[in-house]
Amino acid sequence: MKRIASLFCLVGSTALISQTAAAQEGEVYGSHERDGLTFGAALGGGNLGCSGDGCDDFTEAGSFNVFIGGMAAHNLAVTFDAWWMVHSDDDFSVNQGLMTANMRYWPVDHLWLRGGLGVARSEFSYDGTFVDVTDRTEWVPAFVVGIGVEPIATETFGLDIKLEYGTGFYSDGDTRIHSAALSLGIAFY
């Protein structure tokens, strides 16, 4: 959790430094009037953590995210996101998928905040020599939050560096999975 907090601080301070530098030069680089359809994708890495029986630690995982939506205002997007994180070892794999309706808000140029509600599902599988086990949860309510910086931004394109967290509200007896990822993404407006 300490690493996640450090990453949030790093992303936030990078955005503030870039805004301060732009303001000192007398211009706000990248001030854009975005509108219409928006879509994008991101790849990254992070951790899948779990709480429940048999959970000891965080597990490194790959992250993949796609979204589509529309600009409600020049600094507010409403999107549908599908985010999946997967970890796989020789005979063990765990994954969590989150599908959420989100709002992405730019309080200042090049810095956005994200929040959303939707559904999540997780799955564990073990393929042993004598035993094969797969445990998949039902779809359950979920939420995601995130912060991102756009070091490159135009009216029609943005390059994102983002930090995101999400989890589902799993039933008693289900193992609760926590997804946290640092990703590089592209967005079109």
Q: Where are the alpha helices (DSSP H) in the chain?
A: 2-24
Whole-angstrom Cα distance, residue 165 to residue 47?
Answer: 10
In this prediction, residues 99-128 reach a mean pLDDT of: 93
Q: Alpha-carbon distance 118 to 141, whole Å?
A: 6
Quickly count helices (H) and strands (E) in the chain. Answer: 1, 9
User: What's the pLDDT score for residue 134?
Assistant: 80
Decide if pLDDT at 146 tops 60.
yes
How far the first Cα of the chain sits from its last, in Å, is 33
Instruction: Give the number of residues written for the chain.
Output: 189
Between 75 and 126, the higher pLDDT residue: 75
Q: How confident is residue 81, by pLDDT bands cut at 50, 70 and 90? A: very high
Tokens 């959303």 correspond to what residue? 116
DSSP string covering 72-110: EETTEEEEEEEEEEEEE-SSEEEEEEEEEEEEEEEEETT
Please report the pLDDT score of residue 175 as a whole number: 67
Sorting pLDDT into bands at 50, 70 and 90, what band is 56?
Answer: low
Mapped onto helix, strand or coil, the DSSP state of residue 66 is strand
User: Tens of pLDDT along 6-50?
Assistant: 444 444 444 444 444 444 443 334 566 788 999 999 999 999 987
Q: What pLDDT is attached to residue 52?
A: 63
Q: Model's pTM, two decimal places?
A: 0.79
Q: Give exposure, 114-144, as e/b (b: 16+ Cβ within 10 Å).
A: bebebebbbebeeeeeeeeeeeebeebebbb
Q: What is the pLDDT of residue 55?
A: 61
Instruction: Retrieve residue 117's tokens.
Output: 């509600």
Q: Which of 161, 46, 39 is nearest to 96 (CA)?
A: 46
Of 156 and 68, the structure prediction assigns the larger pLDDT to 68
| Tokens at 19, concatenated | 């805004």
Which positions ≥6 away from 53 have C-beta within 8 Å? Answer: 175
Mean pLDDT, the chain, as a whole number?
82
- In this predicted structure, what is the pLDDT of residue 165? 97
Query: How much is the pLDDT for 173?
Result: 65
